[in-house]
Amino acid sequence: MLTHKIIGKDSSENFTKECIGCRGFLIKDNKICIIYEQNTGFYQIPGGALEKGETLEECCIREIKEETGCDVIVKEPIIRIDEFYGEWKFTGYYYMCKIKQYGERQLTKEEKENGAVVLWLNLEDAFSVFGTYKEYETLEPCKYGGFYREYMALKLMNMVLQEKIK
């Protein structure tokens, strides 16, 4: 598994709070699934936080089902990204997923309020979207961090896929 560490300007690796989550790469017709929040302008790879009693795989499957409506098969995580901001450490596991079937989305109240929609982008367009992270560094640090994390995840995923081709 490839790992990457992100240390925010306001942090070190000393943390008192931790959040673990999972995200999944869904690819169909040479396009990758991205969640776009129309009311916040936020983009992200489908996924979210681990719930009590859940395995990492169960978290990934549940989050993807809720956000995209897709039932998926997950394998071992291919990427882990550790992020340190203030007193927080966020650990994200990224899985390659295979779509079994499509169904109904089950969005949270917040996702509905934010206008979350499913987009299928070619990889170049996804890199362009997340590659804008530098624009948000001072004005919107949360968006900066999220976009940078997803940009690095795409970059690492691309490396893994290129290795598999060799």
The domain ranges of the chain are 2-165
Three-state SS for 32? strand
What predicted TM-score, i.e. pTM, was given to this entire model?
0.94
- Distance from C-alpha of 70 to C-alpha of 8, rounded to nearest angstrom: 33
Average pLDDT over residues 46-65: 98
Q: Sorting pLDDT into bands at 50, 70 and 90, what band is 37?
A: very high
Closest CA to 83 of 32, 134, 11, 35: 11
Tell which CATH classification among 3.40.630.30, 3.90.79.10, 3.40.640.10, 3.40.50.300 matches the domain 2-165.
3.90.79.10
pLDDT digits (tens, 9 = 90+) for 6-34: 988 888 668 999 999 999 999 999 999 99
pLDDT at 109 over 80: yes
